[in-house]
Structure 1
Amino acid sequence: MMYRGSQTVSTYVETPKANGEDIGQDREMTDDIFDTTYTEKEGPKPPRKIVWRNVILMSMLHIGALYGFFFIPAAKPATLLWAVVCFMLSALGVTAGAHRLWSHRSFKAKLPLRIFLAVSNTMAFQNDIFEWARDHRAHHKYSETDADPHNAMRGFFFSHIGWLLLRKHPDVIEKGKKLDLSDLYADKVVMFQRRHYKKLILVMCFIVPTVVPWYFWGESLYTAFYVPCLLRYALVLNATWLVNSAAHMYGNRPYDKNINPRENRFVALGAIGEGFHNYHHTFPYDYTASEFGIRYNLTTCFINLMCYFGLASDCKRVSKETIMARQLRTGDGSQRSG
């Protein structure tokens, strides 16, 4: 094992090996390291093309979610608890699953845990794991450039939701095709979800959250649909999007002042641990995505619990010496968040 650095990130590289269900999990990881050689093309930017289907669907979702707030006072306590459970499951499917496991391979997960995270990720409905991980690796490798899917230099609205309402910049597509995604292709759980994604999201994101309260404790279908289904779904989406928008604009940069991502504890609270973004872009392989372990970080607590039960292992961490050296070398000198 050794450390490899660039101008903006440091990460460590492991000797490639493959063993059964963990195939692809130990290969050398370089596609989440910032590429300092990439330069944007000169000349006028390509015209923006609106995806009207997404505009209509996202508008309908958020109108429905806002309407769902009016159902909260009439909802049964069990329904509200169920909405929280669905929120947490959805969020973990993104943070622990698509992000820390499949995008960065910051820890290993056995088959039962990978299945659980894939099911939870399907409930979150934020594109399938393969596409999510591919775009996220491109986001790290080409951060704040035309090849970044949600380039924060294009403004808060674009990095928050606008990137889903427009056709991708040609550089995003071009560079995304050049990423090494062999580990994702080798994961049968990831590929199963990708093949059956439309059917799975219908069941996990919409039917299960709605039917469970109605069937098991007699909640009205309207309340079940608008609270644990639509409102929960919209809240998870926006909590995740804030990592792309607010955590790239508001906060300090104690680890690397030369990159845009920031430390934002409020985003960390909403996104169950994903708001310490200056640290994460500096050390993308760290399974905690934060210097502070489990503080403000329910995702790290979950991964630690899975390690206790033997379902997760080989969690990667940054040494205190490396963190301190990086702060002195490239940090903004601010007080650390957390």
Structure 2
Amino acid sequence: MHIFALWGVLLVLTGHCKWQTIVWIFSVTILASESVTIGAHRYYTHKSFKANAFLRAMFVIIQTIAGQNSMFIWCRDHRLHHRYSDTDGDPHNSKRGFFSCHIGWLMYKKHPYVIELGRKIDMSDLQADWMVMFQKKYYYQLYFLLAFLIPVWVPVHFFGEPVFQTILTCYFARYVVSLNGTWLVNSAAHLYGTRPYDQNLQPVESWFVSMISMGEGWHNYHHTFPWDYKAAELTMHFNQSASIIRFFERMGWASDLKTASPEVVGNRIIRTGDGTHFKLGNDEARAAVTAVGPVHPLNPTYTTTLKAPDAILKPEGLPLNHEKDVLSTNVLERHTRTA
């Protein structure tokens, strides 16, 4: 798939596609990516806001275009990832190296702990959602229609593009580029960056990944406060997804946006951060940041030389925000402190 995707990218870069096709590819890629970022991740997995029926339907339909498995399986794996993050119970355990957590985890059998613990993840909320379960039941048929047939048919029918070339550009290139953008959240955003919110968690803050994934690279914050709709402390730095959620709120499609107060965030930074926070950190910790080349947050190798935390698999795992005993922001913060 990567070979065909590279072929498709080269066709786009060398001017073989009409500008209308390029706009189409870009539009479908952004829509599919945001359906994962906002729909599968921030809404269905973490319940960081409420959505009306129309918005939920859009999430399920467009998430199918992304081709990252059904909504149900995506959310199950991600809840498992948060509960047993960076241990053998994590589907994409970053302790096994970059390749393994980026794509290798999809190329070999699941660790027995992933299978065993995955059966214990509470998925009752998604099982009660008929749209999610309908997509799960007919996923492959829907995938062929929405992720392959329609994206290829539009440029062929309306723009007069050759069929084989369009398959390479509008399917393989679009799909694989989008996949690698998502995978960087599992790999680079767990390995190369700083831990200003909780130095006991493996995930890091990555400006580079946030730029590529429209806000998903502020990963140390996200694992510290997984229920925050912003998935970041700030929203003006590479976090278009948070702005889109607020747009949905203004339209009346989304409500009850959950977020951590500045006081809660500040207390957590002081208590558990690694000292690299831009405002509440210290010079010694910031001096420990290094990179291959310019020491700049947009450099993909930007990281701290401070020792990464150990990850110990515990049967109870880390708390998840969607569980029934989480009733308020205070309870959520209390759970985070326990973790």
TM (norm. structure 2) is 0.80
1:288 maps onto 2:230 in alignment: yes
1:231 aligns with 2:200: no
Report the CA distance between 1:230 and its aligned residue: 0.9
1:259 aligns with 2:201: yes
Distance 2:170 2:246 in 1: 27
Amino acid at match of 1:166: Y
Corresponding position of 2:19: 77
Could you say which residue in structure 2 is the equivalent of 1:194?
A: 136
Give the residue type in structure 2 aligned to 1:104: H
One-letter code of the match for 2:103? I
CA distance in 2, matches of 1:185, 1:79: 38
Amino acid of the structure 2 residue aligned with 1:238: N
The C-alpha deviation readout for 1:92-122, integer Å capped at 9, x for no partner, is 1110111111110101111111111111110
User: Contact conserved, 1:280 with 1:290, CA < 8 A, in 2?
Assistant: yes
**Deviations 1:163-190, CA, capped at 9 Å, x for gaps:** 0001111111111111111101011111
Q: SS of the residue aligned with 1:233?
A: helix
Superimposed CA distance per residue, residues 38-81 of structure 1 (whole angstroms, 9 cap, x where no aligned partner): xxxxxxxxxxxxxxxxxxxxxxx111101112211110001001
Structure 2 letter corresponding to 1:246:
A
Q: Once the 2 structures are TM-superposed, how far is the Cα of residue 295 of structure 1 from its aligned partner? A: 2.5
Counterpart-to-counterpart distance in 2, 1:326 and 1:153: 25
Matches within 5 A, 1:318-333: 318-333=260-275
How far apart, in 1, do the equivalents of 2:67 and 2:76 lie? 16
Partner of 2:44: 102
**1:218 positional shift:** 1.5
* CA distances 1:213-265 after superposition (whole Å, capped 9, x unpaired): 11112122233211121101001100000000000000011000111100001
Aligned positions of 1:117-136 closer than 5 A = 117-136=59-78
> Conserved in 2, the CA contact under 8 Å of 1:294 and 1:300?
no
Contact 1:255 1:332 in 2 (8 A): yes
Written as runs of structure 1 = structure 2, the 5 A alignment for 1:149-164 is 149-164=91-106
Deviation at 1:294, TM superposition (A): 4.2
Rounded to whole Å, the distance in 1 between the matches of 2:52 and 2:185 is 27
Which of 277, 280, 283 is the matching residue for 1:335? 277
Q: Indicate the residue corresponding to 2:5 in structure 1.
A: 65
Does structure 2 retain, via aligned residues, the 8 Å contact 1:288–1:294? no
Match of 1:304 among 246, 249, 252: 246
* Distance (Å, rounded) in 1 between the aligned partners of 2:270 and 2:9: 47
- Structure 2 regions of 5+ residues with no counterpart? 279-296, 299-339
Count residues in correspondence: 278
Among residues 259, 263, 267, which one is paired with 1:317 in the alignment?
A: 259
Q: Secondary structure at the match of 1:223?
A: helix
Q: Secondary structure at the match of 2:103?
A: helix
TM-score w.r.t. the length of structure 1 is 0.81
Q: Which runs of 5+ in 1 are unaligned?
A: 1-60
3-state SS of the aligned residue for 1:123?
Answer: helix
> Do structure 1's residue 88 and structure 2's residue 30 form an aligned pair?
yes
Contact kept, 8 Å, 2:269 with 2:277, in 1: the verdict is no
Aligned residue runs from structure 1 range 241-256, under 5 A: 241-256=183-198
Partners of 1:142 and 1:254 lie apart in 2 by 21
Q: What's the counterpart of residue 57 of structure 1?
A: none
Structure 2 equivalent of residue 44 of structure 1: none
Task: Name the CA distance, whole Å, in 2 between partners of 1:272 and 1:116.
Answer: 19
